[in-house]
């Protein structure tokens, strides 16, 4: 189904392909996948190219590679000739001669598109400024794991709704026909083009997209409350302004009281303590953040095996 393909954004996947990766992730976690389906990829090499620092993404991918018998090579951009001005298209064509897959965590999504254009090996997005598809797959896996279903689930992303995590979760949720709410200050809403695309997807799948600057309205009766940091990497100069603007969007027990009584709280981590989420929610029984973090490992195995193993199709 996904053998040999790039994974730059969930926009490139059909609803059935997203469901396939979610279900495959769950099967890996339950150890229901026979090694015979992927043992032939043992020994293949995967480069993990990172321009940005990471904890969960790097570790989950390295461990996933080892579990699948792959050989991961971690490469920091600062240790390559890119740091001295080598064109990305040259870098991609060289690396392509050495490895079986390229996993890249980059500042600009255009870098991934250039890699995919010039490398024959599949390119996997491990985060860009626009999308974080591996995170969204793990998130949707977590939601299905906790509720036993995805059908009928309402999700609200609170805070900075124009970041890569919010983009990818919105795409995935709408492609699966869910209700996705984006709740944040109007200044930080997604572009008109993005919202029009999301409405188009929703019209095709039966999903629903809602955007509001009222946090109580946003989380009312939802099953999932999701948030992320207010100041992402590269936005440090905007820190004071952002914290002031986003303060009314902190996820705390007062806000969460408007959600479904059995709601779950999600956060892709790392968090900034005392900012986007209060401890009374983060440390509560509603919080699934560490199950969510664990699921990055299982979804990484699903993506790598689906792309590298022809028998997984």
| pLDDT tens, position by position, 189-245 | 999 999 999 999 999 999 999 999 999 999 999 999 999 999 876 677 788 899 999
Q: Tell whether 224 is covered by a domain.
A: yes
Same domain, 278 and 153: yes
Q: DSSP code of 30?
A: T
Q: Tell whether 226 is covered by a domain.
A: yes
Same domain, 144 and 253: yes
Same domain, 59 and 93: yes
Q: Tell whether 312 is covered by a domain.
A: no
> By C-alpha distance, which of 194, 184, 168, 187 is closest to 218?
184
Distance CA 280, CA 117 (A): 47
Q: Tell whether 5 is covered by a domain.
A: no
Task: Quote the crossing angle between the two packed helices 164-175 and 133-147, to the nearest 10°.
Answer: 50
pLDDT given for residue 313 in this prediction: 59
122-126, 239-243, 281-285, 291-295, range with the lowest pLDDT: 239-243
Q: Tell whether 313 is covered by a domain.
A: no
Distance CA 144, CA 291 (A): 12
Task: Label residue 98 by pLDDT band (50, 70, 90).
Answer: very high
Same domain, 124 and 145: no
Distance CA 313, CA 304 (A): 12
30-68 exposure pattern, b = at least 16 Cβ within 10 A, e = fewer: eeebeeeebeebeebebbbbbbbeeebbbebbbebbebb
CATH number of the structural domain spanning residue 117 = 3.40.50.1370
Q: How many structural domains are present in the chain?
A: 2
pTM of the predicted model as reported, rounded to 2 decimal places: 0.96
Same domain, 161 and 74: no
Same domain, 140 and 289: yes
Same domain, 181 and 230: yes
Same domain, 178 and 35: no
For range 172-196, the mean pLDDT: 98
- Distance from first CA to last CA of the chain, Å, rounded? 4
Q: Does the pLDDT of residue 65 top 90, yes or no?
A: yes
Same domain, 178 and 120: no
Same domain, 139 and 193: yes
Q: Tell whether 3 is covered by a domain.
A: no
Distance CA 299, CA 188 (A): 29
Q: Tell whether 254 is covered by a domain.
A: yes
Q: Tell whether 244 is covered by a domain.
A: yes
Q: Are strands 101-105 and 45-50 parallel, antiparallel or unpaired?
A: parallel
Active site residues: 105, 132, 135, 228, 268, 296
Same domain, 106 and 171: no
pLDDT given for residue 109 in this prediction: 98
Which structural domain range is residue 144 located in? 135-293
pLDDT tens digit string along 16-48? 999 999 999 999 999 999 998 999 999 999 999
Q: Which residues have CB under 8 Å from 91's CB, separation 6+? A: 80, 81, 82, 115
Same domain, 187 and 123: no
């Amino acid at each position: 189904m996904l053998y040999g393909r790039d994974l730059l954004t969930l926009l490139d996947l059909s609803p059935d392909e997203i469901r396939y990766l979610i279900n495959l992730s769950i099967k890996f976690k339950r150890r229901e996948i026979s090694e015979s389906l992927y043992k032939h990829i043992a020994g293949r090499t995967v480069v993990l190219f990172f321009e940005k620092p990471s904890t969960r993404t790097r570790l989950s991918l390295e461990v996933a590679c080892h579990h699948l018998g792959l050989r991961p090579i971690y490469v920091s951009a600062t240790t390559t000739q890119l740091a001295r001005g080598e064109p990305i298209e040259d870098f991609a064509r060289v690396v392509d001669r050495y490895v079986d897959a390229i996993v890249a965590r980059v500042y600009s999504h255009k870098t991934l598109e250039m890699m995919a254009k010039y490398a024959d090996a599949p390119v996997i997005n491990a985060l860009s400024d626009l999308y974080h598809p591996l995170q969204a797959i793990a998130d949707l896996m977590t939601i299905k794991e906790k509720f036993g279903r995805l059908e009928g689930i309402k999700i609200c992303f609170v805070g900075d709704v124009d970041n890569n995590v919010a983009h990818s979760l919105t795409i995935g949720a709408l492609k699966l026909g869910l209700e996705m709410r984006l709740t944040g200050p109007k200044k930080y809403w997604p572009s008109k083009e993005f919202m029009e695309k999301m409405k188009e997807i929703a019209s095709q799948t039966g999903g629903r997209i809602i955007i509001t600057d009222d946090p109580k309205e946003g989380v009312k009766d939802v099953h999932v409350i999701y948030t992320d940091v207010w100041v992402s990497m590269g936005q440090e100069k905007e820190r004071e302004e952002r914290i002031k603007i986003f303060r009314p969007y902190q996820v705390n027990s007062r806000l969460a009281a408007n959600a479904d009584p059995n709601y779950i709280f999600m956060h892709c981590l790392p968090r900034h303590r005392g900012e986007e989420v209060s401890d009374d929610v983060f440390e509560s029984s509603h919080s699934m953040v560490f199950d969510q973090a664990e699921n990055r490992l299982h979804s990484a195995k699903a993506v790598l095996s689906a792309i590298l193993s022809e028998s997984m199709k």
